[in-house]
Structure 1
Amino acid sequence: MNFKQSMSRKGNCLDNAPMESFFSLLKREYLNNFEIKNIEMLTKLTKDYLKFFNNQRISLKTKGMTPIEYRNHSLKNHLI
């Protein structure tokens, strides 16, 4: 996906907080339920969880909506 690390400024520990939180959820809610045998299995499980996380998993932070529903709701309100 051609991601590049940004080295433009001094790092801040809060920069990584959202990703650290996501990876914690990924491990606690999903990956710990499997005996992962190889990188292909890990890749498939991670993709499956991402689909679930974005399309089905509701959260109180997003007012009971999935992340995609919340994003679309927010965009709709900002475009009005």
Structure 2
Amino acid sequence: MSRKATCADNAMMENFFGLLKQEMYYGEEVVSYEALQKKIEQYMDYYNNERIKQKLAGMSPVKYRTHASQSAS
């Protein structure tokens, strides 16, 4: 942990929440907490397993981690 009020501590989560709101939440009408919870869980699954990232050689985070661990062994 770094010192208090260092923005780099939360940078990854802030980025994720910004993307979540931008891609899934804004402009959508949510009826209940349960519906919002289900949509967030679906988005997290999509984000980790299907959404490709150019920084990760055009792979999803899970595929990239699997590929990297297979290459290392």
Scaled to the shorter chain, the TM-score interval is: 0.7 to 0.9
Which residue does the alignment assign to 1:5? none
Normalising by structure 1, report the TM-score: 0.79
- How far the C-alpha of 1:9 sits from its partner, in A, is 5.5
1:13 and 2:7 correspond = yes
Alpha-carbon RMSD across the aligned residues, in angstroms, is 1.6
Choose the corresponding residue for 2:16, options 19, 22, 27: 22
Normalising by structure 2, report the TM-score: 0.85
Which residue does the alignment assign to 2:61? 67
Structure 1: tracts of 5 or more residues without a match: 1-7
Structure 1 consecutive aligned stretches of length 4 or more whose deviation exceeds 6 Å: none
Q: Distance in 1 between matches of 2:43 and 2:2?
A: 32
Identity %: 39
1:38 and 2:32 correspond = yes
Q: How many pairs were matched up? A: 72
Choose the corresponding residue for 1:55, options 40, 49, 54: 49
Q: Distance in 2 between matches of 1:33 and 1:48?
A: 17
